[in-house]
Amino acid sequence: MFANMTNDLDFHAKALVLRADRQRVIASNIANADTPGYVGRDINFKDAMNSALDDGSHTMTPSAPSNGISNARHIPLQAQTASLGSSSSPLAYTTQTQPAMDGNSVDMDRERANFVDNSIRYEATLRFINGQSKTILSAIQGQ
Amino acid sequence: MSMFSIFNVSGSAISAQSQRLNVVASNLANADAVAGPDGQGYKSRQVVFETVPMGSDASSGVRVNAIKESNEPLRKVHNPSHPSADADGYVTQSNVNPVEEMVNMISASRSYQNNVEVMNTAKTLLLKTLQMGQ
């Protein structure tokens, strides 16, 4: 019952963690805009979100008896948030739009645009979470 | 907390860029410096940036790896009346190119501003995250 209520919250929480990850990657790109030979990184949000959701659903459904679980009714030991570490986000490399002499592939205009875009989406996710939690709270209070 | 490392990353970039600005300032200050009769004039300096991994794969900062002296020949100006002139009447000056240094300065200050803005945005987002659910 309660899991149904917080399912949507869980979804947005995962999105928020991924947005924070991406924010960090773009900040690194901007910091290294003048470093010779640095290759820009980015996160493919769609793929990262898909894999985060896949991992999450695995822990929700009882899996076949394997690694440490001897009975199908045992609760898996894996923590639900274990898959959300920063290491799980697939990092890709950005391509050079205007090749530079020093081998640096960071395009400052694109990174600035990505940074602003990502922070707006981060705030949107935050608002979803806030709205959802207000909805749940008013449903609990029933006033 | 993953977003807190943005401050480390951008902070390292700001410190590296301010070091670059410092080097530009000393280059510009010594642009007209005159060497003694031994001919050892001021050589313009450049910083060399290097990426530093910070904790995870996703966040990487910057640091100044080395400060290198330019190998360009020192500028020689014919001025026999100058007290530091050599036997042929030439005065050796620094090899600083003021135009290059000005461009370098603008580039450094732009990068500095960019990183300050990144920190400001990260701070705003973290503050909004703190107010989550209120």
Quick check: B87 and B65 in contact, CB under 8 A? no
What CA–CA distance (Å, rounded) separates B123 from B100? 35
The nearest alpha carbon in chain A to B5 belongs to A24
H or E element, residue B119: helix B98-130
- pTM listed for this prediction: 0.78
What string of pLDDT tens digits covers the 134 residues of chain B? 578 889 999 999 999 999 999 999 999 999 888 876 666 888 999 999 999 988 777 789 999 999 999 998 888 889 889 888 888 888 888 999 999 999 999 999 999 999 999 999 999 999 999 988 87
Show Cβ contacts of residue A19 under 8 Å, excluding neighbours closer than 6 positions. A45, A118, A121, A122, A125
Q: How confident is the model at residue A68 (pLDDT cuts 50, 70, 90)?
A: low
Q: Is the pLDDT of residue A81 over 50?
A: no
Max mean pLDDT range (A41-55, A86-100, A118-132): A118-132
Element (H, E) at B19: helix B5-29
B118 vs A contacts (CB less than 8 Å): 27, 30-31, 115
Res B33: pLDDT: 86
For Cα atoms B18, B20, B26, give the angle at the middle one, nearest 5 degrees.
105
State the average pLDDT over residues A76-105: 68
Chain A residues within 8 A (CB-CB) of chain B?
A: 16-17, 20-21, 23-25, 27-28, 30-36, 38, 41, 43, 86-87, 89, 91, 108, 112, 115-116, 119, 122-123, 126, 129-130, 133
Q: Do B51 and A108 touch (CB under 8 A)?
A: no
- Put simply, the chain B residues between 14 and 33 with a CB less than 8 A from any chain A CB are 17, 20
**Does B58 contact A122 at a Cβ distance shorter than 8 Å?**
no
Closest by alpha carbon to B103, among B21, B26, B44? B21
